[in-house]
Amino acid sequence: MKKFSGLLLLEDGTTWDAIGFGKKGFGVGELCFNTSMTGYQEIISDPSYAEQIITFTFPHIGNVGTNSDDNESLKPMAKGVITRAKPTEPSNWRNELNFDLWLEKNCITGLYGIDTRALTKKVRELGAPRAIVHFNENGIHDLEFLKQKLDEWPGIKGRDLTTQIYLINKKNKNNQTDLSENAAKVLLFDFGTKLNIVNCLERYAVKVELISGHATYDAIIASKPHGILLSNGPGDPAATNNFTNKVLKKLVDNTSIPIFGICLGHQLLGLAMGARTEKMNHGHHGANHPILDLRTGKVQITSMNHGFAIDSNSLPQNISESHISLFDGSNCGIEHKVRDIFSVQYHPEASPGPHDSLYLFSKFFKMVERYKDNEQKKTY
């Protein structure tokens, strides 16, 4: 009987034989699927995937290898990767390390040889199940041990995962010494920010200062920002809200500083303004998600990665819904009716794309510049 070096075990007891690659051992987390056709390195290194196992529905993974420029964080936080086909040998001039070795270097276990179409249907059926991936070269898999580890894992719902990730990116990738002394300043709340958010902000020649999601209101005001961006990040927003709610609520109620939220930042902003969030069945993960702008009627293709969403029915009267998903009608954007405050569930900074929503950074920058100009007038 053939022994397989890899094994996938789901919470319902289903097992899938596979071939292992990457880090030997096991990884336990919430199983999701991602429908992107490109950008596997950016996906895996996105901090929002902390404690998740990613199934790629696109079969050809690894064909461009990996490189130091495409990481979205300094330390990938995903717990596992599943592909249909054996990762291909890299054929790209930018390659620095093949995919298998990159996973091993970053302590991520991979499996291939699984029918990812059938597995995707299973994820939809079970609703982002708890799972464990195991790689043993000798094909020895202790099911009782793996079941125990799976049972011990606490899951994602009800957990704040941002603290373990805070400031893994504690540096700006680009040198900002050439910025004007009069440049606007944006505070980037780091709940697990993707580095391309920093890149997108720096294109507008603003000073970007990363700050902990645990920052106090007084510390924020003392920093004198001209704008605040709430980043993406992992975990249950209701859990993270326990320490962000009071601060964000004061920023909304007591200041006129422009605020822009992305993904988890969108959810936390909604919670601070009185909305509720809910766990989705299997979430939205991919770079081909259509959303509708309710104000213009225009459709945009977006990149998404979230397992929670704002409940549209819970929005207070001073907040309007700006975008919805065309897949399931779930909330994808909100906007304050009076203040310069808005947020989106998707990723306008998406790398390698799509770039339909990059204009949101321009929208935010205009708000930031307007606020800075008004503050300067007060000093004259």
Domains and CATH numbers, the chain: 6-152 (3.50.30.20), 185-378 (3.40.50.880)
CA 364 to chain CA centroid, Å, is 20
Whether 348 shows a pLDDT value over 50: the answer reads yes
What pLDDT score does 351 carry? 86
Task: Note the pLDDT tens digit of each residue in 279-310.
Answer: 999 999 999 999 999 999 999 999 999 999 99
Least confident of 87-91, 161-165, 214-218: 161-165
Distance CA 299, CA 281 (A): 24
pLDDT of res. 209: 93
pLDDT at 167: 47
Cβ contact 44:78 at 8 Å: yes
Contact 339, 320 (CB under 8 A): no
Cβ-based neighbours of 202, under 8 Å, separated by 6 or more:
172, 174, 176, 208
Contacts of 167 (CB under 8 A, 6+ apart): 190, 210, 212
- How high is the pLDDT of residue 1? 57
Residue pair 23/49 in contact by the 8 Å Cβ criterion: no
Beta pairing partners, 212: 190
Bigger pLDDT: 373 or 166?
373
| 263 in catalytic set | yes
Q: Which of 42, 72, 202, 349 is catalytic?
A: 349
CA pair distance 31, 128, nearest whole angstrom: 5
The pLDDT value given to residue 138: 95
| Mean pLDDT computed over 217-234 | 96
Instruction: Please pick, among 32, 200, 263, 332, the residue that the annotation labels catalytic.
Output: 263
32 flagged as catalytic: no
Computed from CA positions of residues 132, 133, 136, 139, in that sequence, does the dihedral angle turn out positive or negative? positive
Q: Which helix (H) or strand (E) holds 172?
A: none
Q: What percent of the chain has pLDDT over 70?
A: 95
- Tens digit of each residue's pLDDT (9 = 90 or more) over 115-151: 999 999 999 999 999 999 999 999 999 999 999 999 9
* C-alpha closest to that of 198 among 215, 217, 211: 211
Mean pLDDT of the region 263-282? 98
Asked if pLDDT for residue 169 goes beyond 70, the answer is no
| Rounded Cα gap, residues 190 and 344, in angstroms | 16
Range from 68-82, 168-182, 238-252 carrying the lowest mean pLDDT:
168-182
- The reported pLDDT for the residue numbered 166 is 54
Q: Which of 266, 284, 323, 347 is catalytic?
A: 347
Q: Over 70: is that where the pLDDT of 156 sits?
A: yes
Rounded to 5°, the CA angle 210-215-219 comes to 95
Compute the residue count for the chain: 380
CA distance 151 to 145: 10
Verify whether residue 349 is a known catalytic residue: yes
Cis peptide before 352 (omega within 30 of 0): yes
Of 20-24, 115-119, 164-168, 212-216, which range is least confident?
164-168
Mean pLDDT for the stretch of residues 318-331: 98
